[in-house]
Chains A and B, each alone.
Chain A
């Protein structure tokens, strides 16, 4: 018996780029994260052929979850066709052989930066969010050791101080993205820099959300049907961006999260931020048959 009969043949790369031990570790950490919703689990973030801060955390989770039958969709700031989204999608397909899609309804695994699709996700779909800074307490407690104690004690009073300051200075809550939210009534998490518009989509959602920060080496998760409540004062209600009555110039659709397009004369026009949803809306106005999924927002109101 020789060593070569006992070992596998040499391959240039393992399936899905990460080696099995790395995947096993991430899988374990994801399970832990699901078991304690909103709690940050440290993991050994591995090198991937991408710079830290470009979605390496999300990419590692996607690489761990992927198999040849997983249909993958990648979003960057709502768009499927931006450079970052396109290259992550191509990389995932190349190392796993998985089919890719732009349509939210066809996807099994959605990796996203800064947006949640406008169409409702289902039980069988997984949303992976890229997180630049997983620690919601960092703005109020720069010492991470103490921040961890504060999480352990559920000592979140200072988070409201941040909101208090914003209301005092500006007359309203200015936190535009990464709105701190209470998960399952216990842990405050940052939902990654999704706009306020998207935070209610996580509340009691049917899908599993995994949030992963590659540079900061933390994973946290929102399991299906879990409460996600943005932090608010009892007498100052939570408000999403006022995009409910904006109309998309390209498709004429109304009541979704919009990208502002500044015009030469100082005014602005708007287009739907979720690019594939925008494409579908344009197709519909042109008379092509398109299948829309149920949307979270109806007529600009969260349903």
Chain B
């Protein structure tokens, strides 16, 4: 009996995200130095590193919020091609609204705190051009349910919600339009351990159900270990080591990575 072995999903596909030689300085500080990375469809890339290692800056550039000094960034999507850093303001915003979702560490950055939670999710759809109230309402509810947000608090403003709930609203907003790429910037930092576990559960489930491509930034190795397929370790703006998650955690090569792994264990 012939056994056919499917090649892993990652091997077959072309990378969805390709960033090459991205550099950014703030005054004298080199925040990101020649970082290159590829993310394949359905894959989760984890970026770890200490505070100030440039991981969040890199993520913000992937979200087109900041322009690097040099480097290129492409997404394998039908509607865009070429270096995304060269897009104008309007094209950037439309692309971000329709194809890239982001969850920030600080919910104040991603949410309108005094508007209703469902309104926050609906905003995403409005920017993308949806103008039917019933559809907005329905889709907002769907997205909030998918991120395990309690339905009876649908219209409560995020300012009245707990930290974990606020992150769920951000997540719902990010996935409302089924983005091609989901960026997570320390999504669980600042939450207590049990809530952290619940939010991670949700993320894990969403990832498995929807095969969303994710880039997750965290200083917490536990979070990365739970979610990421592949890991990139950053220090002082540079990538010191990259590889499969198990490989990095079981057999760290670089001295800094070794330190990091041992500090955790």
Q: Which residues of A contact B (CB under 8 A)?
A: 149, 153, 155, 157-158, 160-161, 164-165, 167-169, 233-236
For residue B8, give the distance in angstroms from its CB to the closest CB of chain A. 40
Which 6 A-B pairs have CB atoms at the shortest separation, nearest pair first? Answer: A157-B126, A233-B133, A157-B127, A234-B132, A153-B90, A234-B131
Selected from B115, B128, B131, B134, the residue in CB contact (under 8 A) with A165 is B115
- The reply to whether the CB of B225 lies closer than 8 angstroms to some CB of chain A is no
Known: A164-B136, A165-B115, A165-B116. A233 touches B122 (CB 8 A): no
Selected from A157, A169, A235, the residue in CB contact (under 8 A) with B133 is A235
Q: Which of B205-262 contact A (CB under 8 A)?
A: none
| Prevailing SS type, chain B contact patch | helix
Q: In the bound complex, what is the Cα–Cα distance between A234 and B89 (angstroms)?
A: 28
Q: In the bound complex, what is the Cα–Cα distance between A209 and B89 (angstroms)?
A: 33
A-B contact count (CB 8 A): 50
List residues of chain A with CB within 8 A of the CB of B118. 168
Contact check, B89 vs A165: say whether CB atoms are below 8 A apart. no
Selected from A160, A234, A235, the residue in CB contact (under 8 A) with B126 is A160
Known: A164-B136, A168-B119, A233-B131. A153 touches B126 (CB 8 A): no
For residue A147, give the distance in angstroms from its CB to the closest CB of chain B. 14
- The reply to whether the CB of B155 lies closer than 8 angstroms to some CB of chain A is yes
- The reply to whether the CB of B93 lies closer than 8 angstroms to some CB of chain A is yes
Contact check, A235 vs B122: say whether CB atoms are below 8 A apart. no
Known: A153-B90, A168-B155, A169-B116. A158 touches B123 (CB 8 A): yes
Selected from B90, B93, B119, B128, the residue in CB contact (under 8 A) with A164 is B119
Give 19 new A-B contacts, CB below 8 A, not counting A149-B89, A157-B123.
Answer: A153-B93, A155-B90, A155-B93, A157-B129, A158-B123, A158-B126, A160-B126, A161-B119, A161-B126, A164-B119, A164-B136, A165-B115, A168-B116, A168-B119, A233-B131, A233-B133, A234-B132, A235-B132, A235-B133
Q: In the bound complex, what is the Cα–Cα distance between A165 and B140 (angstroms)?
A: 13
Q: In the bound complex, what is the Cα–Cα distance between A233 and B136 (angstroms)?
A: 10
Contact check, B89 vs A164: say whether CB atoms are below 8 A apart. no
Contact check, A236 vs B122: say whether CB atoms are below 8 A apart. no
Contact check, B122 vs A161: say whether CB atoms are below 8 A apart. yes
